[in-house]
Amino acid sequence: MNITFYLAATIAVLATVMVITRANGVHALLYLVVSLLAIALVFYSLGAPFAAALEVIVYAGAIMVLFVFVVMMLNLGEIAAVREAQWMAPRIWIGPSILSLILTAQLAYMLVSNEIGNTGRAVVDARAVGLALYGPYLLCVELASMLLLAALVGAYRLAETGRSGVIKGGH
Amino acid sequence: MLSSIRTLWYTFLHLFHRSETVQYPEEMPYLAPRYRGRIILSRDPDGEERCVSCYLCAVACPVDCISLQKTEEDGRWYPEWFRINFSRCIFCGFCEEACPTYAIQLTPDFEMSEYERHNLIYEKEDLLISGTGKYPDYSFYRVAGLAIPGKDKGDAERERPPVDRHGLLP
Amino acid sequence: MNPIVFGLLNIVGILLALVIGAALLTWIERRLLGFWQDRRGPNRVGPFGSLQVVADMIKILFKQDWIPPFADPVVFVLAPAVVMVTTLMAFAVVPVTASIGIAGDMNIGVLFFLAMTSLSAYSVVLAGWASNNKYSLLGGMRAAAQMVSYEVFMGLALLGVVMLSGSFSLAAIVRAQSGLWFVVPQFLGFVVFVIAGIAETHRLPFDLPEGENELGAGFHTEYSSMKFGMFFVGEYIGIVLISAMIAVLFFGGWQGPLLPPIVWFALKTGVFVGFFILLRAALPRPRYDQLMAYGWKLMLPLSLLNVALTGAVMLTHW
């Protein structure tokens, strides 16, 4: 179990590094998918199979497909890739990477010094997730669903076409 | 939705229908006598060539696949050579319709595939058959007024003797 | 028997059966289509034409394996592999019988199946994008929208079954159907699942990503040789997968009288594979906006209604 976890975690980190260094949008998204799959495996190895499955279905399977869809629609091509490559100059990435290095160091220190790494390894199945969501976290679920409903209505309004087929919203 | 389900059911019932397929090489399909297939040149009942090299078939051909050269012998016209390029031919049958002597005819035969394209160019000896084809009794020179050895003017079927232009009677 | 050896035998056996079965399906489909169109179908190579598969394989392997110079080479090669891998992976959770099956008892079996089918959308989308060709891109975009939206109804249609059996494990779902097949209490769910399954495998009549007459084979226009073959075989494995899932979720899986369980499973799966082929023989392709409107305006309310009704009945009766 440990080997799976560390392997998946390493892949996730490497894939994420690849995501931010790719100049081609679709390649970056593909690495992001790999990263998400690796994180799903991490969840699974930590005893959360339900979260792992949802990670794959929702993030890797649906949201990322939509991302790819949008990038395909934009059809950025060679010019965008060249421009992206120019943006990858050291003076751009050196600042954020120092900050994230500090964060990584903190995380590593905490992992080594503390017993946070001990996750208990109790399997959290779908029933447990459901009970938690509709028990102690009911209010959060309802708030999130209200937010999503608002987003849905907003999206419908923006994309609504009149009788003439002209998009009404988004002036 | 209901119509889709009905369509599915009717299509399913076709499982028990008889197959319409003709298992071709073993089982030959029926071809009508007037099927437009391989082109031949026929002979008249006396065994002479019917073609009189009038070039009408070559003119009628929409894809220009027919070419021939006229020659003459004892008053009869013959094609010196006659060539049909079957890689161009579209088997429309216009040549048969244009032919005034029933010489060029289309036959119910389509199995003429070749591995090399130039083998599809048929010469006169490939085209000429020994029979009369679809019109067994017709002979152009027997009904035409043209004089040939053995048949003078006025000797043809249903032909009156030629008018004597020097006589006084009408 | 040693459990590890048994597990390996299971994996190898299921893989072999699937790949050979999918290859044979090319022949079965053509024969059945022939019968349904009053033809005979391929009947020359081998007994009843069954060796047509071998002839096709030889042909497809010896074709030029061509990567267009304008394509994105890595993604282009990756795309056909994705469809094979994801559909084969999904079979890991299908319980063939009580003992045969790789991980039939996995506690998130249904979710794993959904995850794998949703990942298989990538193959089509990426193939369309990597081909760098207008028609392929259009096919890929259609595939993305179609598969993402029909995944939603597929998942919702399964919820009723999960609620009735109280488990995500496919083996447990089959065991819960020992009295009554779920197709009776979950008829709406069954209908929605079948239709969503057709759309997921982008089979006719929902083969808009390919759309021969308007997109010229769509997402696999640029593919040749075995890369095309992988799309082809992947599609057939997808059909077998959806058929097996219908049998497992709604028709009691391996359970049945007299015959051994594996025969029942194969029989039920085979019937639905035949149904898929019948669909292809009988129905024309809808327009793209019709497909999407049909999905969101009819299938979504139906599947939500199914979930609500199932929940209401369960709350009042248990």
Q: What is the pLDDT of residues C196-251, one digit of tens each?
A: 888 888 887 888 777 777 777 778 888 888 888 888 888 888 999 999 989 888 88
Give the ipTM of the model, two decimals please: 0.78
For residue A76, what pLDDT is reported?
Answer: 64
- pLDDT at residue C94 above 80? yes
- Give backbone dihedrals phi and psi of C109, rounded to 5 degrees, phi first: -50, -50
Nearest chain A CA: its distance from C60 CA (Å): 29
To test the contact with chain C by mutation, choose from B5, B6, B9, B14 the residue with the greatest count of C C-beta atoms within 10 A, namely B14
* The pLDDT value given to residue B82: 93
Does C38 contact B at CB distance below 8 Å? yes
Q: Is C148 on the interface with A (CB under 8 A)?
A: yes
Which chains pack against C, by 3+ Cβ pairs within 8 A?
A, B
Q: Is B3 on the interface with C (CB under 8 A)?
A: no
Contact (CB, 8 A) for C91 and C241: yes
Over residues C140-164, the pLDDT tens digits come to 888 888 888 888 888 888 888 888 8
- Residue C88 clears pLDDT 70, i.e. is over it: yes
Look-up: residue for tokens 């232009």? B165
Q: Read off the pLDDT of residues C25-42 as tens digits, 9 standing for 90 and up.
A: 888 888 888 888 888 888
Nearest CB to C148 within list A33, A56, A62? A62
Beta-strand ranges (E) seen in chain A are none
User: Which residue ranges make up each domain of chain A?
Assistant: 2-120, 134-171
Please give the class, per CATH, of domain A2-120. Answer: mainly alpha
For chain B, list residues with pLDDT below 50: none
Mean pLDDT of chain C: 84
Take residue C281 and report the two structure tokens written for it: 């023989």
Contact C125 A68 (CB under 8 A): yes
Q: Using CA atoms, how far apart are residues B22 and B83, in angstroms rounded to an integer?
A: 34
- Rounded CA-CA distance C108/C118 in Å is 15
pLDDT tens digits for C260-315? 888 888 888 899 999 989 888 888 888 888 888 888 888 888 888 988 988 898 88
Residues of chain B found within 8 Å of residue C34, distances taken between Cβ atoms: 19
Q: Tokens representing C279?
A: 């669909």
The neighbours of chain B, by the rule of 3 or more Cβ pairs under 8 Å, are C
Model confidence, pTM: 0.79
Q: Say what the pLDDT of residue B71 is.
A: 92
C283, B4: Cβ pair inside 8 Å?
Answer: yes
> What pLDDT sits at residue A162?
63
pLDDT of residue C57: 86
Mean pLDDT computed over C68-82 = 84
C127 pLDDT more than 70 = yes
* Section C111-128 average pLDDT: 86
Interface contact flag, A126 C108, Cβ < 8 Å = yes
pLDDT given for residue B46 in this prediction = 86
Tens-level pLDDT at each residue, chain A (171 residues): 577 788 888 888 888 888 888 777 778 888 888 888 888 888 888 877 888 888 888 888 888 888 888 877 776 666 777 777 777 677 777 877 788 788 778 777 766 665 545 555 677 777 788 888 888 889 999 999 999 999 989 988 888 776 555 555 444
Tally of CB atoms within 10 A around C239: 25
Q: Which residues contact B53 (CB under 8 A, 6 or more apart)?
A: B68, B69, B70, B71, B77, B78, B79, B80
Partner C contacted by B14 (CB < 8 A): yes
Residues C35 and C30: their CA atoms lie apart, in Å, by 9
